[in-house]
Amino acid sequence: MTTPIAPPPRKDPQKVTRPPELPPIQRSRASLELSAMAARGVFALQHCELCGTIAYPPRDACPKCLSINLRFRPVDDGGEVIAETRVHTTPDLYFRQRMPWRVGTVRLDCGPSVVAHLHGDVEVLSRVRMTAKLDKSGNAVMMALPAQETENMADDVQYRELTASPKHRRALVTDGRSAVGQAVAAALSKAGASIIFVGIAEPWKPFPGEKELAAIPKVEIMPLDITDTTSVTELCGEIGGKTDILVNTADYVRPGGLLAPGSVVTARDAFDVNVFGLQRLAQAFGPGMRARGADGTNSAAALVDILPVYALANIPSFGFYSASAAARHSLLQCLRAELRPGGVRVLSVFTGPLEDDWRQHVPPPKVQPSQIARAVVTALEEGIEETFVGDVAKDVAERFLDDPKVLERELGL
């Protein structure tokens, strides 16, 4: 069993914050696909379409038949550890701060033997569950986990490097007025976050769930209006140095397409929250988080954005909303690259239509705020970069991967 990590002591103001270092960055193009699979939480390896060989590490041609027709497909994640070694010294800047480091050889049930990071609870000559996760450079690495869940498993130091676990971390939830913001705050509290700052815009307006929100353990209500640069800057001035996880739950949704009357005003409002709001948050909090990516147990770990899956393709009945989501998705891609030098993850949680006032005319299936909250916590705890919540989101994502043009036509019917 893993020793549970202790709540970190308060920061010593005389100590220099350790600048974040990254594990090796350069990868082959073929292996980027492995990272893309890991980003979605899928354990997949290359299959030769010609002879059926499963290949690892990723390569450009089948090691057996030399076919270049290799495709990543999910594989059985079972395996057995056959050897281990503990690295005690290295010139690598990232690993030398984290020595010793345990690695091992795992014979996968699906064929290849791989060198992988070993979870502390994995014994040599035992069954393991293999995972591919993104390291702090955003590259897929393999980690062997115990075949059965062990106590405090998530607290393993090597494993924690591959996640953005909310345990003992301080989170900011940007919109506590919404049901999603409230559900996320509650879920983070349950997941062991040490403080959950919850932003409230226009506090002079009462809102449903106000009392319940304030009663969630570890929740601290803060004034925050992401449409107001001053407000974002002021809050960052207060808590920017101790925001380890930022979950942007703000979302401005209005039905209507491009030809709806007065749509410029609505579109501006949508962009002001969904796009520029994210920008204001990133500009205020991003640099501080990037600098604190290796700041101990409660280092800055992730920025999570919850956005509609129509970021991938426009649904004309919510035309501007989709457009703002697409812009948001694009900014997240930019931000992901910009925060990577700090080892800070950008996690996108794409959702299907929510059950809310603005989408009463949208037929089910709908997504509940609690489902989104669970997905946010899972994304953090497992370091998953792209999550799709609800059947609609999963379906749209699948079709998007298949052919975005077909998806466009289908949503535009």
Partner 1 sequence: MTDAAIAKGADLLGALVAGMRDGGVEVVDLTHTLSPDFPVMVLPPEFGQCQPFRIEEVSRYDSRGPGWYWNNISMSEHAGTHFDAPAHWISGRNLTDGTVDSIPPEKLIGPAVVLDFSKESAADEDFLLTRAHIEEWEARHGRIEAGTWVLFRTDWSKHLGTAKYLNLREDGAHSPGPDSDAMEFLVKERGIIGFGTETVGTDSGQGSHLSPPYPAHYILHGNGRYGLQCLASLDRLPPRGAVIFAAPLKIRHGSGSPLRVLALVPADGKARKS
Q: How far apart, in Å, are the Cα atoms of 228 and each of 35, 222, 340, 366, 378?
A: 36, 14, 27, 31, 31
Closest approach, Cβ 226 to partner 1, in A, equals 11
Measured from the CB of residue 206, what is the shortest distance to partner 1 in angstroms? 6
Distance CA 258, CA 100 (A): 58
| 206 binding partner 1? (CB under 8 A) | yes
Residue among 126, 227, 283, 378 that touches partner 1 (CB under 8 A): 227
The span from the CA of 126 to the CA of 361, in Å, is 53
* Minimum CB distance to partner 1, residue 205 (Å): 6
Select from 10, 15, 205, 405 the one that contacts partner 1 (CB under 8 A): 205
Binding mask 241-280 for partner 1 (x = CB under 8 A): ---------------------x--xx--x-----------
CA angle centred on 373, ends 368 and 378, rounded to 5°: 125
Half-sphere exposure in the Cβ direction for 6 (13 Å, CA): 3
**Smaller CB separation from partner 1, 26 or 230:** 230
Alpha helices in 275-355 (DSSP H): 276-291, 319-339
Q: Which of residues 310-369 bind partner 1 (CB under 8 A)?
A: 357
Q: According to CB under 8 A, which one of 163, 231, 314, 348 is a site residue for partner 1?
A: 231
Pick one of 26, 89, 230, 360: the residue that binds partner 1 (CB under 8 A).
230
204 touching partner 1, by CB under 8 A: yes
Q: Which stretch binds partner 1 (CB under 8 A): 50-58, 180-188, 224-232, 374-382?
A: 224-232
CB of 310 to partner 1, least distance (A): 20
CB of 203 to partner 1, least distance (A): 7
Task: Tell me 153's DSSP state.
Answer: G
Binding residues with partner 1: total (CB under 8 A): 17
**Nearer residue to partner 1 within complex by CB, 192 or 203:** 203
Contact 344, 22 (CB under 8 A): no
Buried b (16+ CB within 10 A) or exposed e, 372-381: bbbbbbbbbb
Name the strand (E) or helix (H) holding 304: strand 302-308
Integer Cα distance of 117 and 357 in angstroms = 47
By the criterion CB under 8 A, which residues form the site for partner 1? 202-206, 223, 225, 227-231, 262, 265-266, 269, 357
